[in-house]
Amino acid sequence: MNNEVPQIDAVITWVDGSDESHQRKRNRIYHLETGKEQSEIPTGRDSTRFVDNGELKFCIRSIRQHAPWIRNIYLITDDQVPDFLTEEVRNRLRIRIVDHREILEGYEWAIPTFNSRTLETALWRIKGLSDRFIYFNDDFVITQPVKPEDFFRGDKVVLRGKWKKVRQYGSFRLKLNDMLSMAMKKVLGITRTMNLLFQIKSAQLAGFYESYYMSPHVPHPVRKETLVEFFNKKPSLFEENIRYRFRSTEQFSGIYLANHLEIRDGNAILERKDESVMLNGEMDIYPILQAKLSRIKNRQARFVCIQGMETFSRAQRRKIKTLLKDEFDLNAPFPKTGPADEKKKEAVNS
């Protein structure tokens, strides 16, 4: 019996918006692009979208601790390297820094970009990426041990979510949403990302017009071949989607597109279990936050997304980080061995 673990990589997108060089670049493009894209999401340029609150360290540690079978971790950055990821640590944990220039090679006119939807469209162009990979935002954390079959079973991807009816977004509704987004940001400090619109547009590209499979904020399994085949047949869609420097309502998501292509072709297993928690600093009032933290502490959620850490109060941030530090000791050195070293040990001892 062949018990060999299939080659599965992790891909993480990350940016340090506090970096002065990145700020200058973003501000320069911001002023050049102002007024050009009427379809742009009002909060797409918001500085909170580019803030680094240290979640990446939790994310990487959780992958290596709870998914040690993952082969390589590819970290997509804009000419940046996190301070804690020294060359020695990167080599040991099999982490490779991938610049935007690599995945947008041949499309240099789309650089610089400050748009995660653009980057998600081009993830499949990472050199050396395995056919099966799991996409993480840098604020995703795995809180319990997971297995390859939690994401891939045979040639099928395991998708988490539920079916929802498609809501039509005409020009009037989009304008209304823009006004609502700006008002909520100004009055309540709440950032609306229009994530459901991206999911709907992606589903429609795969032929789903009446309903779509809504995915929560969890790690997403992707078969690279699915996106390669799609964009090889429709290169103009690829070019159109990467041209936006900041998020636009005209865009779709490569990840949600892949999900619906797999569902359409019968290559998906749909899981309805509620295994995730999203902590949201702009939305979670104290009782809600307490209930969510209790779920995490009681092992009722395997996946956590920490959105807007900087918008939590100081006491709330301390509580969240304390809980995660109990799970992932950030003061301890990273593991002495990566997955490749463990395989060598097994081979020697067998």
Domains and CATH numbers, the chain: 8-349 (3.90.550.10)
Tens digit of pLDDT at every position of the chain (350 positions) = 456 778 999 999 999 888 888 888 988 888 777 555 545 555 445 544 445 678 899 999 999 999 999 999 999 999 999 999 999 999 999 999 999 999 999 999 999 999 999 999 999 999 999 999 999 999 999 999 999 999 999 999 999 999 999 876 544 454 544 544 444 444 444 344 567 889 999 999 999 999 999 999 999 999 999 999 999 999 999 999 999 999 898 999 999 999 999 999 999 999 988 899 999 988 888 899 999 999 998 989 999 999 888 888 889 988 998 888 877 665 566 655 444 454 544 433 33
Q: What is the 3-state secondary structure (H, E, C) of 113-158?
A: CCCHHHHHHCHHHCCCCCCEEEEEECCEEECCCCCHHHCEECCEEE
> pTM of the predicted model, to two decimals?
0.85
268-293 b/e with 16+ CB inside 10 Å = b? bbeeeeebbbbbbbbebeeeebeebb
Number of helices followed by number of strands (H, E) in the chain: 13, 13
Contacts of 93 (CB under 8 A, 6+ apart): 60, 64, 73, 334, 335, 338
Give the CA diameter of the chain: 66
Helix (H) or strand (E) segment spanning residue 221: strand 220-223
